[in-house]
Structure 1
Amino acid sequence: MRAVVQERFGPPDTLRLREIEPPRAGDGQVLVRVHAAAVNPYDWHMLRGDPYAARLLGGMGLTRPRCRVAGVDAAGVVEHVGAGVRGLRPGDPVLGFCPGAFAELARTTEHLLVPKPDALTFEQAAAVPMGAVTALRGIRTVGRVRSGQRVLVNGAGGGVGAFAVQIAAVLGAEVTGVCSARNADLVRSLGATHVVDYAREDFTDGRVRYDVVLDNVGNHPLGRLRRVLTPAGVLVANGGGSPGRVFGAVGAMLRLAAVDAVVRHRLRPILPATPDGPAHEDLLAVTALVEAGQLTPVVGRTYALADAAEALRHVEEGHARGKTVITLP
């Protein structure tokens, strides 16, 4: 089968499209024929092997990638199921977390997959897992957004932000989205009542206060972000503002916890959704929102499998609109 292979840590140019042996589904495992795979910041962190602390913790491999084939978000059709799999069968359209997703076939476990909503194309479905689940956790689980609250989403036009705006609006919040001018109409269409163009306005000037701020960018100091919170406000940090390649999000979370201990505001990190954590219930929750017509994936650009390196470069630049997706015939 064709797959995008990574033999060492490095920039996107280290990726190679090769013919390799296909994986096999063992007990409790599912083999998925991939029709589309999303590109996430998680993928280029895995590609470059940073932060270094994650290598020591075993999250990505010490001297070379733990998973030889890149990618994790996928949508496709079940090809084969191993012994013990009860809820899926060959031919079922699915979406979910499939380590090694940048390939024609990917192997995963049943609890990391859910049925694909009929209304979604495979490209849209691939955009859902990491982005939508991370947004759900940030807005509903960590931020505990309620009807009538004011919510600000920094990075509202990006992969997580576009989902977060919609979820906050569904919960009845008055949403403000911070994005570029080119994404303003998109963010309004997703449910934002107000849009801030970050190139023209500084939302941290304190003129407007919010009950919940979801920061997907990390381009403002904590002190500035706290200025826009109500007295009982919550800052939800989605891994932004990492102090470097050594400790990455771990260092950012420790700093957040240290400040949280001495201030009245609640400062909470959100661990982005990954295939290593519990995900099935959250995947079901976001696909239920899709099926109810309350959540729509935003696909900004699509690339062929052979252009996976270019897709990763585009996401790493930090200005991707919605989700970037790799398509397979």
Structure 2
Amino acid sequence: MKAIFRDTYCSPEALKLGDIDKPTIGQDDVLIRVHAAGVDQGVWHLVTGLPYLLRLAGFGLRTPKTRIPGHDVAGHVEAVGKNVTRFHPGDEVLGTCDGSFAEYASAHHDKLVPKPSTITFEQAAAVPASACAALQGLRHRGQLQAGQKVLITGAGGGVGTFAVQLAKAYGAHVTGGCRTTKTELVRSIGADDVIDHTREDFTDRPGRYDLILDTAGNRPLSQLRRALNPTGTLVIVGGAQTGRWTEGADRQLRAAMLSPFVRQNLSGLMSTPRQEDLQTLRELIETGKLTPIIDRTYPLSQAPQALRHVRSGHARGKITLTV
């Protein structure tokens, strides 16, 4: 099968496209004929091996444990293990796996849900990592309640576009912070107010927010706290693109260490797509309350260009690969 692969941590430009063996599946696994794969910051980290903290977390100290990059996947079921009863060959699915940048991928059955018929495979591949991060940040960690004032930084990006829609679906008053080129997009997906951060600093506004979901990764903790209500909640998703060891994860650590000593609830989020969350997202998509926003789609052979575009921060929504 055709696949993108590498044997060492490398720059995106060093990724190779070639023929490798089709994956085998275990008794609890599903073999997927991949139609689309999601591209996000997490894939860039696993390709480059940066920050180094990621290697210590178990992804491979000197070389990557998984040869083929990519986690978010959408496609048809090709075959199932003997213990799998939820899916059958021909079913359309979305979810997560190891090695989605390939024609075929193997996934454990509990990491998949049926693909909504209302969206394309490209849209479906955009969902797992970013939409789950938005959902877990707002509902699980942020304890979002209807009527609350919510600020979402990086509102025009991969996680941000899902977060704006989810916060609106759960009844919040949503302010989205983004760059000039993304303001119209953020308004179009339901934000009640939009702040162009190249022209205005949200910390200068007199109002305060009940919940801030920070996906932009470049604000000091002190500034974010100033924009919070005295008992508000801050959830930091991701980090700044600096630092070879932590790349901004130190903000999350500092938030967690400070939180017990202040009235505000401060935390970071390292999200993991879960089946129950994927099912919730699937239902919201089917009812029209959530729509994956695609900036552009690249063919599998242009995976390096897709990763560079994601890393640039200019994507309006999500980037996906077609296989």
Query: For 1:12 and 1:31, how far apart are their aligned partners in 2?
Result: 26
Match of 1:300 among 295, 299, 321: 295
Query: For 1:138 and 1:20, how far apart are their aligned partners in 2?
Result: 37
Change in Cα spacing, 1:243 to 1:251, as seen in structure 2 (3 Å) is: farther
SS at match of 1:261: helix
- Structure 2: gaps of 5 or more residues: none
Shift of 1:257: 1.4
Query: For 1:313 and 1:43, how far apart are their aligned partners in 2?
Result: 11
Match of residue 116 from structure 2: 117
Corresponding letter in the other structure for 2:179: S
Query: For 2:126 and 2:150, how far apart are their aligned partners in 1?
Result: 23
Query: For 2:297 and 2:239, how far apart are their aligned partners in 1?
Result: 25
Say if 1:149 and 1:174, in contact at 8 Å, map to a contact too: yes
Query: For 1:228 and 1:169, how far apart are their aligned partners in 2?
Result: 20
Instruction: Give a deviation string over 1:284-307, Cα, whole Å, max 9, x none.
Output: 011110011100000001100000
Shift of 1:272: 2.3
Shift of 1:273: 2.5
Query: For 1:165 and 1:190, how far apart are their aligned partners in 2?
Result: 7
Say if 2:217 and 2:248, in contact at 8 Å, map to a contact too: no
Match of residue 164 from structure 2: 165
Task: Report runs of 4+ in structure 1 exceeding 3 Å deviation.
Answer: 247-252
Match of residue 44 from structure 1: 44
Instruction: Give a deviation string over 1:82-129, Cα, whole Å, max 9, x none.
Output: 121110010000000021000000011001000000001000110111
Trace 1:124-163 onto structure 2 (pairs within 5 A).
124-163=123-162
Match of residue 237 from structure 1: 236
Match of residue 277 from structure 2: 282
Query: For 1:308 and 1:241, how far apart are their aligned partners in 2?
Result: 23
Shift of 1:252: 3.3
Match of residue 3 from structure 1: 3
Query: For 1:272 and 1:61, how far apart are their aligned partners in 2?
Result: 19
Say if 2:221 and 2:251, in contact at 8 Å, map to a contact too: no
Query: For 1:154 and 1:66, how far apart are their aligned partners in 2?
Result: 33
Query: For 2:317 and 2:242, how far apart are their aligned partners in 1?
Result: 25
Query: For 1:284 and 1:15, how far apart are their aligned partners in 2?
Result: 33
Identity within the alignment, %: 49
Match of residue 94 from structure 2: 95
SS at match of 1:57: helix
Instruction: Give a deviation string over 1:119-168, Cα, whole Å, max 9, x none.
Output: 01000110111111110001111111111110000000000000000010
Query: For 1:258 and 1:136, how far apart are their aligned partners in 2?
Result: 24
Instruction: Give a deviation string over 1:219-259, Cα, whole Å, max 9, x none.
Output: 11111111111111000100224772213465333211122
Match of residue 54 from structure 2: 54
Matched, 1:291 2:270: no
Aligned length: 323
Corresponding letter in the other structure for 2:23: P
Change in Cα spacing, 1:261 to 1:268, as seen in structure 2 (3 Å) is: same
- Structure 1: gaps of 5 or more residues: none
Matched, 1:220 2:219: yes
Instruction: Give a deviation string over 1:181-202, Cα, whole Å, max 9, x none.
Output: 2211211111100000011100
Shift of 1:50: 1.7
In the superposition, the TM-score normalised over structure 1's length comes to 0.95
Match of residue 317 from structure 2: 322
Query: For 2:106 and 2:151, how far apart are their aligned partners in 1?
Result: 38
Higher alpha-carbon deviation: 177-186 or 241-250: 241-250
Shift of 1:261: 2.5
Query: What is the aligned-residue RMSD (CA, Å)?
Result: 1.3
Say if 1:123 and 1:325, in contact at 8 Å, map to a contact too: yes
SS at match of 1:231: strand
In the superposition, the TM-score normalised over structure 2's length comes to 0.97
Corresponding letter in the other structure for 1:296: T
Shift of 1:13: 1.2
Say if 1:34 and 1:77, in contact at 8 Å, map to a contact too: yes
Trace 1:5-20 onto structure 2 (pairs within 5 A).
5-20=5-20
Query: For 2:294 and 2:118, how far apart are their aligned partners in 1?
Result: 15
Query: For 1:311 and 1:81, how far apart are their aligned partners in 2?
Result: 31
